[in-house]
């Protein structure tokens, strides 16, 4: 599933084609994805102007001049692809329709936004812009790791009484928004914290040091266009490249990249997810 860097990469890719433009025509080609589309979604979208695109955790939010916000979740295999952008950001002509093109937005500037999702685990919803942070999908999400609300004091307090493993604590969306398996593994490696260590047993100094490391990992991934492992592509159809910089994720039995370390990367399963770490560097 795309994590924060992939979703942010898609948001940035959509912005030049969508922000300030009017949805000249919206087409919804099926009644549902993960859950049913809102009633009359195509009609409610058609003719509205996109005031801005923002991201909350792993959701893209398009604020419309109708007073509604289009919520988009990519799911496991969802892609938002742009074609025909007159600004020259995207060189692709409009492609022929594909089987899994579930929602198509033709913008008045000539761009076309296509939501393609073969597995149909993605989702879209329309909600009132005012008070959108109280939507059930958004209300209980923790602070954004790239925002001011995520700082050393916050993380120390959030983890102080948690007996769960550090890996699980950081994956909890109520603790930190948008972090997923890949980037938690990478951040824990850079911070030299063992993924199974109970959160409350990690010193305040080490927890404080984790905050800038998480931010650096996420920003590095965004700069690389995210990580393409299976289905993820950027809005222009290109792949992300951060997977070539993984220190531990997906590198089971490969040598640790820390200078002087002779260990190999190990994999364990935590809560049904693979965790990759170095048994020597991470304690």
Q: Which entry of 12, 206, 266, 273 is annotated as an active-site residue?
A: 273
- DSSP symbol at 28: E
Give the 3-state secondary structure of residue 194.
coil
Active-site residue 2, yes or no?
yes
Contacts of 10 (CB under 8 A, 6+ apart): 2, 60, 74, 80, 234, 235
Whose CA is closest to 249, among 180, 199, 169?
180
Q: Which entry of 11, 56, 58, 112 is annotated as an active-site residue?
A: 58
Active-site residue 144, yes or no?
no
Output the CA angle 48-50-54, nearest 5 degrees.
Answer: 145
DSSP run (H or E) holding 126? strand 123-128
Give the 3-state secondary structure of residue 63.
strand
Active-site residue 25, yes or no?
no
Q: Please, are residues 63 and 50 in contact by the beta-carbon 8 Å criterion?
A: yes
On the CB side of 274, how many CA atoms lie within 13 Å of its CA? 10
Label each residue of 129-176 as H, E or C.
CCCHHHCCCCCCCCCCCCCCCCCHHHHHHHHCCCCCEHHHHHHCCCCC
On the CB side of 181, how many CA atoms lie within 13 Å of its CA? 15
Residues noted as catalytic: 2-3, 58, 273
């Amino acid at each position: 599933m795309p994590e924060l860097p992939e979703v942010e990469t898609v948001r940035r890719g959509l912005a030049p084609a969508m922000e300030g433009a009017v949805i000249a025509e919206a087409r919804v080609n099926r009644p549902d994805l993960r859950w049913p589309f809102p009633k009359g979604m195509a009609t409610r979208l058609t003719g509205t102007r996109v005031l801005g695109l923002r991201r909350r955790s792993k959701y893209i939010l398009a604020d419309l001049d109708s007073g509604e916000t289009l919520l988009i979740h990519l799911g496991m295999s969802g892609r938002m692809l742009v074609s025909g952008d007159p600004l020259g950001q995207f060189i692709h002509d409009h492609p022929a329709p594909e089987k899994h093109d579930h929602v198509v937005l033709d913008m008045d500037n000539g761009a076309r936004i296509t939501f393609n999702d073969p597995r149909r685990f993605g989702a879209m919803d329309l909600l009132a812009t005012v008070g959108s942070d109280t939507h059930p999908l958004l209300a209980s999400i923790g602070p954004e790791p790239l925002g001011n609300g995520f700082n050393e004091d916050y993380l120390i307090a959030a983890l102080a009484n948690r007996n769960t493993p550090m890996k699980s604590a950081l994956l909890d969306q109520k603790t930190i928004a948008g972090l997923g398996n890949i980037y938690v593994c990478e951040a824990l490696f850079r911070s030299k914290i063992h993924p199974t260590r109970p959160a409350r047993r990690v010193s305040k100094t080490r927890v404080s040091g984790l905050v800038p490391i998480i931010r650096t990992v996420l920003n590095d991934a965004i700069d690389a266009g995210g990580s393409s492992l299976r289905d993820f592509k950027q809005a222009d159809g290109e792949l992300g490249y951060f997977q070539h910089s993984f220190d531990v994720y997906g590198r089971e039995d490969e040598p640790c990249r820390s200078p002087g370390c002779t260990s190999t990367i190990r994999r364990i399963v935590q809560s049904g997810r693979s965790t990759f770490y170095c048994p020597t560097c991470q304690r």
